[in-house]
Amino acid sequence: MAGAIRIHETGGPEVLHFEQVEVGAPGPGQVRLRQTAVGLNYIDIYYRTGLYPPPSLPFIPGMEAAGVVEAVGPEVSDLAVGQRVAYAAGPLGAYAEVRLMPADRLVPLPDNISDDTAAAMMLKGLTAQYLLRRTFKVQAGQTILFHAAAGGVGLIACQWAKHLGATVIGTVGSDAKAELAKAHGCSHTIRYDQEDVAARVRELTGGQGVPVVYDSVGQATFEASLDSLAPLGMLVCFGQSSGPIAPINTGILAQKGSLFLTRPTLMTYTAARSDLLAMAAELFEVVARGAVKIEINQRFALRDAALAHRALAGRQTTGSSLLVV
C-alpha cells in the first residue's frame, strides 16, 4: 500500500483525499516508481473540477513527478532498478508516493538535475520548450507578449525567451509579481488587472504590435491578446486559468490582420518518444548552463494537496510549486 491523493467526485479542493492505495507489480512495459517530488500544475485543477473529464472515478490526479525506479516489468529494456527518472504530461496518477508508469513516458535524469528541480520543471519547462521553439519559433530581436509571466510556465518561458534574444513583455497580477517577472526575463511588465494591455503593447512596440502572444489565461485576456498582435501574428492559446474562451467567429482573425490562432497541448508535442527526449535534453541544457533558473517558491506536503490547489487557483503562488512526498 502507498499514500496517494484520490478524487471520488469532481469539485472543489475538498474532494482531494489522502488515502492508502494498492500499487501492485509493474506489468509489461511498466515500471514501479517510488516518487520523491510531485509537480503542481494548473491542469490538475481542470481535472479536479471536471473541466477536463477524468477517465474514471475514483482517480489519482497529477501529471508530473520525479523518483526512483523500484521495480521493472517485462519488456522494459532501457531502465534499471535504482535509476532516477522524471515525467510530464501523464498519464494521470502523480499525486502518490508510489505508482506504476509506462516506461516509454519516463526521462532519465542527469546527475546535475535534482529530483526537486525535475519535478518543478518537467511539465512547465517542456511546455516552454515547445511554445518558444516549435509552436512559434521565437527569434532574436523579436518582442513577444507572455501572459501570467510570474507563474510556473511563465517564469521559465520568460527566461528562456530572453535567452533566445527576445524582448519579453509579461503580464502580471501584482507589483510583487512584476518585480519577480523582471528578475526572470521580462523587460516590461503590464498589470493586466489595471492597465489596457493592447494599448500598452502598442506603446512599447512603436505601434506595431507583437508577432506572437502566449496566452494561458484564456477568457479574461483573449480579446486583448488578439488586439496586441501585428498583422500575420500568432495567438497561442495554451490554457484557461480565468475560464474557457467562448466559441469564436473565425472572421475576427481576418478583421484583425490575417492572424493565426492555435490551441496546442504538451501531450501532442511529446507523443513521440524521440520528441520527448529531444525536448527534455534542450530543457536540461538551458537549466544546466544557468540560462533558466527553476524557482521552487512553494512546497506543500502531498497530503495537503487541497491547500496547494487553493493557493494556485487563488493566484497566491509564483514560479513552481512542489508536493513533497
Ligand X SMILES: NC(=O)c1ccc[n+]([C@@H]2O[C@H](COP(=O)([O-])OP(=O)(O)OC[C@H]3O[C@@H](n4cnc5c(N)ncnc54)[C@H](OP(=O)(O)O)[C@@H]3O)[C@@H](O)[C@H]2O)c1
Q: Please enumerate in sequence order all residues whose Cβ is within 8 A of that of 176, keeping only pairs 6 or more positions apart, or say none.
A: none
Q: Which of 173, 179, 208, 324 binds ligand X (CB under 6 A)?
A: 173
Name the grid cell of 246.
Answer: 467562448
CA atoms lying within 13 Å on the CB side of residue 39 = 31
Q: Is 41 in the site for ligand X (CB under 6 A)?
A: yes
Among 105, 202, 299, 315, binds ligand X (CB under 6 A): 315
User: What nine digits make up the cell of 94?
Assistant: 502523480
- Pick the piece of the chain touching ligand X (CB under 6 A) from 21-29, 105-113, 259-267, 282-290: 259-267
Cα–Cα distance for residue pair 40/314, rounded to 1 Å = 14
Task: Decide: is 220 part of the binding site for ligand X (CB under 6 A).
Answer: yes
Smallest gap from Cβ 69 to ligand X, in A, equals 25
Interaxial angle between packed helices 42-49 and 305-313, expressed in degrees from 0 to 180 and rounded to the nearest 10: 100
Residues in the chain, overall count: 325
Q: Is 317 in the site for ligand X (CB under 6 A)?
A: yes
Site string for ligand X, 106-145 (x = CB under 6 A): -----------------xx--x------------------
Between the CA of residue 282 and those of 99, 278, 279, 321, what are the distances in Å? 27, 6, 5, 22
String marking each residue 7-26 x if it binds ligand X according to CB under 6 A? --------------------
CA torsion 61→67→73→79, rounded to 10°?
130
152 makes contact with ligand X (CB under 6 A): yes
- With binding defined as CB under 6 A, does residue 242 bind ligand X? yes
Which helix (H) or strand (E) segment holds residue 33: the answer is strand 30-39
Minimum distance of ligand X from residue 240's CB (angstroms): 6
Q: Which of 48, 84, 99, 177 binds ligand X (CB under 6 A)?
A: 177
Site membership for ligand X, residue 151 (CB under 6 A):
yes
Q: How far is the CB of 304 from ligand X (least distance, A)?
A: 17
266 binds ligand X (CB under 6 A): yes
The three grid cell numbers given for residue 293, joined into one nine-digit string? 533558473
Cα separation of 95 and 252, whole Å? 41
**Cα first-last separation, the chain:** 15
Question: Which is closer to ligand X, CB of 30 or CB of 270?
Answer: 270
Residues of this chain that bind ligand X (CB under 6 A): 41-43, 123-124, 127, 148, 150-154, 172-173, 177, 216-217, 220, 238-242, 264-266, 312-313, 315, 317
